[in-house]
């Protein structure tokens, strides 16, 4: 049965995040030939609507109201509630990102809907679709089927492939204003942390350091390798707790959950809380001088050695192939 499914797109630093396209692909599976309607809020939203259409949205609702310039729970809640009511859609897909994780449970309560969070794969289509999500810190997966009611899912970035962009696609772009009142949070200024350019959640390659890097200076060889590979830098909580790097880089149960094509873990022991954030990476390379380190149990390639020898050697080799 064809259904209308909404997709809330997300921008970051005036760029449309890739998870928005992945959410459109997920919505098409749920829509079973029905309409997929993109929703975009914030500064410059209208300029990204076309990209959503090229990636599969049939129509896009945009709003550049001042109240929606930056994500705040209250404003986005109120606007999304109105979109859901006006559109009478049968479902909503959003990214399992910081703002998505904040918005989804509150909005699902308002809509009195169920919520399937952190979906990494979809099997089947329409009302027969099964939504797969990790449980027990990624040690197992559960499959959820929602046969009736409003379908609300959040998808983990980098897992559900986006559809190929098709520049011949066209669709309406509807500009809307909403009634937004009683805001408890007003963002006056955004102060960016300087943690490097590539978004960890959407990075294809991550070079992560742990307590084994021994100092903030010890991250330098990792940064050099990351520069050659076009990778993002990540870290274990051990490294963050030791003040070698910013907590924004932390990967794991209480940090970011990542699924890159390649994850290079240097000087990270592989505690269960760290594995919870990276064990679904497609290829894991572990560098550790302790051959018994648990990280080797999840690694596809293990290098037993001193990271300060291994990382520069890898950087030199990669320089030869990327030159």
Q: How far apart are alpha carbons 85 and 156 in whole angstroms? A: 26
From the CB of 315, what's the least distance to ligand FAD, in Å? 15
Q: How far apart are alpha carbons 246 and 16 in whole angstroms? A: 25
Give start and end residues of each alpha helix (H) in the chain.
18-31, 45-54, 73-87, 98-111, 220-229, 237-241, 272-278, 295-298, 307-322
Nearer to ligand FAD, 82 or 253 (CB): 253
Nearer to ligand FAD, 12 or 289 (CB): 289
From the CB of 223, what's the least distance to ligand FAD, in Å? 16
Q: How far apart are alpha carbons 142 and 144 in whole angstroms? A: 6
> CB under 8 Å to 293, separation ≥6 — which residues?
269, 270, 286
Annotate 106-148 with three-state secondary structure: HHHHHHCCCCEEEECEEECCHHHCEEEEEECCCCEEEEEECCC
Q: How far apart are alpha carbons 93 and 168 in whole angstroms? A: 24
From the CB of 199, what's the least distance to ligand FAD, in Å? 18
Which of 278, 286, 294, 292 is CA-nearest to residue 310?
286
End-to-end CA distance of the chain: 52
Nearer to ligand FAD, 196 or 302 (CB): 302
Provide the annotated binding site for FAD: 211, 236-237, 250-254, 267-274, 288
From the CB of 262, what's the least distance to ligand FAD, in Å? 18
Nearer to ligand FAD, 29 or 289 (CB): 289
From the CB of 282, what's the least distance to ligand FAD, in Å? 19
Q: Cβ(213)–Cβ(265) under 8 Å?
A: no
Which residues are at the interface with ligand FAD (CB under 6 A)?
A: 210-212, 236-239, 250-255, 267-269, 271, 273-274, 277, 287-290, 293, 306-308
3-state secondary structure of 177: coil
Nearer to ligand FAD, 134 or 277 (CB): 277
From the CB of 254, what's the least distance to ligand FAD, in Å? 4
From the CB of 119, what's the least distance to ligand FAD, in Å? 21
Nearer to ligand FAD, 79 or 239 (CB): 239
Place of tokens 């030791």: 242
Q: How far apart are alpha carbons 142 and 35 in whole angstroms? A: 28
Nearer to ligand FAD, 96 or 274 (CB): 274
Provide the annotated binding site: 211, 236-237, 250-254, 267-274, 288
> For residue 164, with 0-12 CB atoms within 10 Å meaning exposed, 13-18 middle and 19 or more buried, which class applies?
exposed
Place of tokens 């076309």: 50
């Amino acid at each position: 049965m064809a259904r209308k499914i909404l997709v809330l797109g997300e921008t970051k630093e005036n760029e449309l995040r890739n998870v928005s396209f992945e959410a459109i692909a997920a919505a098409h599976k749920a829509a079973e030939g029905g309409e997929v309607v993109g929703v975009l809020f914030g500064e410059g939203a209208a300029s990204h609507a076309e990209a959503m259409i090229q990636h599969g949205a049939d129509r896009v609702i945009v709003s550049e109201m001042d109240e929606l310039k930056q994500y705040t729970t209250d404003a986005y809640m109120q606007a999304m509630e109105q979109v859901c009511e006006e559109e009478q859609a049968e479902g909503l897909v959003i990214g399992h990102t910081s703002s998505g994780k904040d918005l989804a449970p509150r909005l699902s309560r308002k809509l009195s809907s169920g919520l399937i969070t952190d979906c990494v794969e979809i099997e089947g289509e329409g009302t027969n679709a099964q939504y797969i999500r990790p449980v027990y810190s990624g040690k197992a997966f559960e499959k959820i089927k929602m046969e009736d009611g409003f379908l609300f899912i959040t998808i983990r970035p980098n897992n559900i492939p986006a559809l190929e962009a098709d520049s011949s696609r066209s669709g309406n772009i509807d500009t809307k204003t909403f009634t937004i009142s009683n805001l408890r949070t007003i963002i006056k200024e955004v102060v960016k942390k300087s943690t490097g350019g590539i978004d960890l959640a959407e990075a294809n390659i991550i070079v992560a350091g742990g307590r084994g890097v021994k100092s903030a200076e010890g991250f330098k060889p990792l940064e050099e390798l990351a520069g050659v590979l076009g990778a993002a830098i990540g870290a274990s909580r051990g490294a963050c707790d030791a003040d070698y790097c910013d907590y924004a880089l932390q990967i794991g149960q209480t940090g970011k959950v990542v699924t890159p094509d390649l994850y290079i873990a240097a000087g990270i022991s592989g505690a269960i809380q760290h594995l919870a954030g990276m064990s679904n990476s497609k290829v894991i390379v572990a560098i550790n001088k302790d051959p018994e380190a648990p990280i080797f149990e999840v690694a596809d390639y293990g290098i037993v050695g001193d990271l300060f020898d291994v990382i520069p050697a890898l950087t030199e080799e990669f320089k030869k192939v990327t030159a």
